[in-house]
Amino acid sequence: MKVTLCSTCALGRSGFAETLQAALGSAATVGLVECMSGCTRPSTVSFRDTGKTAYLFGDVAESDLPDLVTFARLYAASPDGNFADARPLGALRTKAVARIPA
């Protein structure tokens, strides 16, 4: 799975990519990209994997780390990237900006 943070947003500039990579381990590759056009809801993070729905989250803060880890675990376990119940995602479920079909 590929996880991308906006390097233009505060979270991307803070070194959070390294923190997230350490939390996710080998389950994901975390990277940065300049501007993800989520400026109305900074800081943005995306998750994508081959053949799965991709997700873009905004208004993400360092305090969302546990929910991001939970999302990554559930996303990896989902065959198509979709979820029947978003409640385990905690506050992250209210931070979804886009869900992009595979």
| Mean pLDDT over each residue of the chain, to the nearest integer | 95
Per-residue pLDDT tens digits for 54-97: 999 999 999 999 999 999 999 999 999 998 898 999 999 999 99
Give the structural domain span for 65.
Answer: 2-100
What whole-number distance in Å separates Cα of residue 84 and Cα of residue 69?
18
- CATH classification of the domain holding 28: 3.40.30
* Domain count for the chain: 1
Q: What sections of the chain are H helices per DSSP?
A: 10-13, 16-24, 65-77
Give the closest residue to 79 by CA, choosing from 57, 100, 47, 51.
51
